[in-house]
Amino acid sequence: MKKSRLAIFASGSGSNAEAIIKYFGNHPQIEVALLLSNNAQAYALERAKKYNVPSKTFTKTQFQNGEVNQWLKELNVTHVVLAGFLWLVPEIVLTTFPHRIINIHPSLLPKFGGKGMHGHKIHEAVVAAQETETGITMHEVNEHYDEGKILAQVKCAVLPTDDAAMLGERVLKLEHEYYPKVIEAWVTSSADRPR
Ligand code: GRF
């Protein structure tokens, strides 16, 4: 049987991208076909290189005019994984990959999500709101920020002594542990789902 092929989109550090690349390094059903970035300086590109995963950068025009979508088709990509990717996904990609684009957000959506809610801002808001728990949400991607169908959530405690940085570290560890596993279950089960 042919393997499912992932394209990872990352705009920044790419620690999740690396965790995913490592997890599927020797997987019987799933492989990482390429890593794409909108940011030529993204450390995610270095990480891809380290594991011999092909990578490419692109502009907003190339994303919106269908060029990036064409690359995905040419490389027989079956599923798209966003990992710290900051742009909305254009219609042309959404319609090519229905129910086959996943993202991760470092809070328990719908709390602390939406446009502008990324990076340390999320954890600062969680601490300021005196939440007792936070966590990660893995969800399908649609035309709005952080609003696609929720596929899985994993929680962790917010301690009274936490600052945003401490909390961010705890949440990022959860992401590395769970995102690859949730991707695996999602890809495997999507084989029986209609497009
Ligand atoms: C992660 O917190 C992820 O949940 C969010 O962006 C961050 C990316 O971190 N969408 P990294 O680039 O994977 O290190």
Q: 160: which DSSP letter?
A: T
CATH number, residue 26: 3.40.50.170
**Three-class HEC string of 46-111:** HHHHHCCCCEEECCHHHHHCCHHHHHHHHCCCCEEEECCCCCCCCHHHHHHCCCCEEEEECCCCCC
Q: Which two tokens stand for residue 78?
A: 């079956």
The pTM (predicted TM-score) of the whole model is 0.96
Helix (H, G, I), strand (E, B) or coil at 35: strand
Ligand 1 lined by 47 (C-beta under 6 Å): no
pLDDT in tens, 84-96: 999 999 999 999 9
What is the distance in A from the centroid of ligand 1 to the CA of 177? 13
Nearest residue (by CA) to ligand 1, atom 5, is 84
Is residue 33 included in any domain, yes or no?
Answer: yes
Catalytic residue among 27, 79, 99, 105: 105
- Does residue 105 carry a catalytic annotation? yes
Predicted confidence band of residue 194 (pLDDT cuts 50, 70, 90)? low
Mutate to test the pocket of ligand 1, among 38, 85, 146, 172 (most ligand atoms within 8 A of CB): 172
Domain-embedded: residue 116: yes
Q: Report the separation in Å between the CA atom of 65 and the middle of ligand 1, taken as the mean of its atom positions.
A: 26
Find the domain containing 133 and state its range: 4-190
Average pLDDT over residues 59-64: 98
Question: 137-171, pLDDT tens digit by residue?
Answer: 999 999 898 999 999 999 999 999 999 999 999 99
Counting ligand 1 atoms within 8 A of each CB, the residue from 175, 177, 178, 183 with the most, and so the one to mutate, is 175
* Strand, helix or coil for residue 134: strand
State the pLDDT at residue 192. 64
Ramachandran assignment for 135, one of left (phi > 0), alpha (psi -120 to 50 degrees), beta (any other): left
Q: How many CA atoms lie within 13 A of 174 on its CB side?
A: 22
Indicate whether residue 15 lines ligand 1 (CB < 6 A).
yes
- Cβ(104) to ligand 1 under 6 A? yes
Sign of CA pseudo-dihedral 158, 163, 164, 169? negative
- Asked whether residue 195 is assigned to any structural domain, the reply reads no
Residues 6+ apart with CB under 8 A from 2: none
Among 5-9, 90-94, 117-121, 173-177, the range scoring the smallest mean pLDDT is: 117-121
DSSP 170: H
Does the CB atom of residue 77 touch ligand 1 within 6 A? Answer: no
- 148 contacts 116 by C-beta, under 8 angstroms: no
Maximum average pLDDT range among 76-85, 109-118, 183-192: 76-85
Q: What's the rounded mean pLDDT across residues 106-118?
A: 94
**Beta carbons of 4 and 79 less than 8 angstroms apart:** yes
Q: Is 70 among the domain residues?
A: yes
Residue 26 lies in a domain: yes
Region 97-124: mean pLDDT is: 95
Domain count, the chain: 1
Strands 79-82 and 101-105: parallel
Any ligand 1 atom below 6 A from CB of 123: no
What is the enclosing helix (H) or strand (E) of 183? helix 164-190
Place of tokens 């940011």: 39
pLDDT tens digits along 115-127: 889 999 999 999 9
